[in-house]
Amino acid sequence: MKMFHEIQGTTFQVLHCWNELRHAPKWITESGMKNSKNSKTASPAIPDTKILGDAEVDNVEVMARPISRKAAKERLKKDKHRQVVSNITLVTLLIEEMKEEQKEKAKNRAELYSQIYIQEQERIKIEQERLRVDQENQNLKKEKICLKIIKNDERIMAMDTSNMPSMQAEYYKKLQMEIIAKEFGGGSSN
């Protein structure tokens, strides 16, 4: 205090603050660093410690030094960068998950289309078989009709017209002529 009074020419006004803060870790480390800078044979960043009484040690709280603004800004930038990286990682994971879902959907869609294709092929086979059976039925009907016509033609050709009246005999002779013309490709005569 005497030195301050001699240099400044006034008394030290904030002595009560100095008395509370002089044992704080910040001032202890700063005074230790000033001493190490000034002396050529300084010990490495370990300040001279005074052995205080137990009562005074209890009053001294071990506090971490407050973070400077620059360090706080750098930490904030790093945190933002980490957050951006974690967001990018999260987005990447979401994209990968979406890709996997799309692959799964495409696979399911391909399986569904394959099943639909197989069912359609089976339906086509069944339809073709039905058409074949229908065609066979139509052919059988045609054959039956042809057989009926042939039977009828045989009956007409086998008829004896000698005992029939002349008009009826003429009718059956005309039918017989048409049957002969049809069979031998002569066409029908009216």
Is 77 or 150 the better-scoring residue by pLDDT? 150
Of the candidates 27, 19, 23, which has an alpha carbon nearest to the alpha carbon of residue 52? 23
pLDDT of 5 reads 84
For residues 104-114, give the mean pLDDT. 95
Q: pLDDT band at residue 54, thresholds of 50, 70 and 90? A: very low
For residues 51-77, give the mean pLDDT. 66
Task: Please give the model's pTM, rounded to 2 decimal places.
Answer: 0.38
As a whole number of angstroms, the distance between CA 137 and CA 140 comes to: 5
pLDDT of 34 reads 67
Check whether 40 has a pLDDT greater than 60.
no
Query: Cα-Cα-Cα-Cα dihedral of 69, 75, 80, 83, to 10°?
Result: -150
DSSP class per residue in 68-97:
PHHHHHHHHHHHHHHHHHHHHHHHHHHHHH
For residues 45-55, give the mean pLDDT. 50
As a whole number of angstroms, the distance between CA 3 and CA 33 comes to: 21
Mean residue pLDDT across the chain: 82
Q: Which helix (H) or strand (E) holds 8?
A: helix 2-8
Q: pLDDT band at residue 57, thresholds of 50, 70 and 90? A: very low
